[in-house]
Homo-oligomer: A and B are copies of this chain.
Amino acid sequence: MNPLTSPLLTDLYQLTMLQAYFARGMQETAVFELFVRKLPPNRNFLLAAGLEQALDFLEQLRFGDEELTWVEQSGLFREDFGEHLRGLRFTGDVYAMPEGTPFFPHEPILRVVAPMPQAQLIESRLINLVHYETIVASKAARSVLMAPDKLLVDFGLRRAHGAEAGLLAARASYIAGFSGTATVLAAPRFGIPLFGTMAHSFVQAHDDEAAAFADFATVFPDSTVFLIDTYDTEAAAHKVVALAPQLQRSGISIKGVRLDSGDLAAHARNVRRILDAAGLGRTTIFASGNLDEYRVCELLAAGAPIDGFGIGTSLVTAADAPFLDAVYKLQEYAGRPRRKRSSGKATWPGRKQVYRHYRDDGLLDHDVVTLEDDVQPGLALLQPVMRGGQRLQAAPGLDTLRAYAKRQLATLPQHLRELEGGSEPYRVEIAPVLRELAARLDQQTRQPVTV
C-alpha cells in the first residue's frame, strides 16, 4: 500500500462514518468547503497551493485489493463494507481558487460537491495536501517579497517532514517565486530548476582546501561554485583568487562562492572586496545557513553584497507558522444548508463564492464572501476545476502558475507585505444574505453564535 495514493491514508472516523452512511442509505449530495479560520500571528496573507496534488488524489481514488483485504480482515467493519468500497470512485465536482492566489480567513479556497460518502472520505488527505503546500507557498512568498531580485533556492529537503514534504516544498516555493531547489527529484517530477554545489565534507575529504576547489572545478567546469567556510572564510577566498588564473587557463571561470556560517554580512563584504580586488567582479556570493525571510531582510538592509540565498529548514517546515487552522466543513447536505455551531468554531453555511475588489491602482481593496447564487460585482475567485470526478482542464504548467502568483503578489498593498503580523487586517466582508442564512439556521434551534 503506497501511502502517497492509498485511500487508507485517512482517519479511522472517515471509514466508520462511511459505513454508517452506507448502512443508513445517506448518499445524498454533500457540500464541503476548505478554508482557514484565522491567520497565524506572523502572517498577513496566505498563498493557495496544492490544488493539482489534491485533484490527482481525487482522480486516482480507489481501494485496491490489498486495501480491501485489510478492511475485510481488520474486524473493524461489517462484512459488506468492502463491497461498498470496491466500486467507490470520486465522481464529484470541485471548485477552487487557482494556486498562487492570496487568500484570507473565512474564504473557502476549495469546494467539493459529491455524494456524502465520497465527500467525507477524502477530508483527511485533501487537507493534508492543500494545507502543506499552502503553508510553504505562504512562507516562501515572504522571502520573495523581501528579495524580489535575488536568487532564492529551496535547500530544505533534509529537515522537511518526510519525503513528500521535501518534494512538495520545492513545488510550492517555486510557484511562490523561488528560483529553484536543491531537491533533485523535483526536476524529473515537476521540471523545477536545480541548484547545488558541494558540502563541507567534500572539502574535508581533501587534505588541502585549494585541492578540493581545483578537483571540483575540473569535474564541473561550467558550474563552479566553491563552499568557502569550512575552515576560514577569508583565507579560503584568497585561495579561490589564487586558483583563478590557473582555472582560467583551462577555460574555467569561477561562477560563485558560498558562505554558510558566521557573520554573513561581514564575510560577504570581505569576500566581495577580495574577489573584486583580484578582478573576479563577476563571481557571485551565495549565502546559506539558518536563513529565513527575517534574516534575508536584515542582510539586505545591512547592504550585504549577497546575490542569492539558500533557504532550507525554516521554509520547508514553515518554522514560525508550521500549521494553519485549516478545516474542511460540511456546509450543505441533501439540499439544505448546514452550520456547525461549536464554541469558537462556528462556520458560515451554504455554497459560497469569494469576490475580490481592487483599488484604482490595481492593489487589493477588500473581498466579499457570499452565497454562490448571490452574484456580485468583483472578481469571482472560486472557479470550477473538476466535474463528475474529471479535471476540466489539464494541469497548468508550473511556470504558468508561477507567473500568475507573481502577478497576484504584486497586488498586495504595503501593509500586507510586512513580515510582522498586521495590526490592520485585510477586509473580508460577510455578505448580508450569508448573515441572514446563518441567523435563520440558528433560529431554528434558538442558539445564536458568534463567529
Contact = CB atoms under 8 A, between A and B. Distances in A.
Interface of A: 1-4, 6, 8-17, 19-21, 23-24, 26, 30, 32, 66-67, 70, 74, 76, 78, 116, 120, 123-125, 127-129, 131-132, 155, 157-168, 182-185, 187-189, 194-202, 204-205, 215-216, 218-220, 223, 229-232, 260-263, 289, 313, 316-319, 322-324, 326, 329-330, 333-334, 338-345, 445, 447
Closest 5 CB pairs of A and B: A12-B196, A162-B164, A161-B161, A262-B343, A201-B330
Nearest to A215: B24
Question: Among A30, A197, A339, A340, which residue has the most Cβ atoms of chain B within 10 A?
Answer: A340
A128 to B, nearest CB: 5
B166 A128 contact: yes
A216 B18 CA distance: 10
B183 A11 contact: yes
Nearest to A132: B161
Contacts of A160: 128, 132, 161
A342 B260 contact: yes
Contact of A167 (B9, B30, B262): B9
Given A2-B2, A131-B159, A230-B341, A116 B323 contact: no
Contact of A124 (B125, B157, B220, B344): B157
Contacts of A132: 160-162
A66 to B, nearest CB: 8
A347 to B, nearest CB: 9
B202 A20 contact: yes
A182 B11 contact: yes
Contacts of A232: 341, 447
A219 B9 contact: no
Given A159-B326, A330-B204, A184 B343 contact: no
20 contacts: A2-B4, A6-B185, A9-B163, A9-B183, A9-B184, A10-B183, A16-B198, A17-B201, A20-B198, A20-B202, A23-B218, A30-B205, A161-B161, A161-B316, A164-B164, A205-B334, A229-B343, A230-B341, A263-B343, A318-B322
A20 B340 contact: no
A177 to B, nearest CB: 20
A16 B157 contact: no
B344 A262 contact: yes
Contacts of A189: 1, 3
Contacts of A197: 13, 16
A260 B327 CA distance: 14
Contact of A20 (B195, B220, B322): B220
Nearest to A199: B13
Given A158-B124, A205-B116, A219 B317 contact: no
Given A159-B326, A261-B344, A340-B230, A4 B3 contact: yes
A161 B323 CA distance: 9
B215 A20 contact: yes
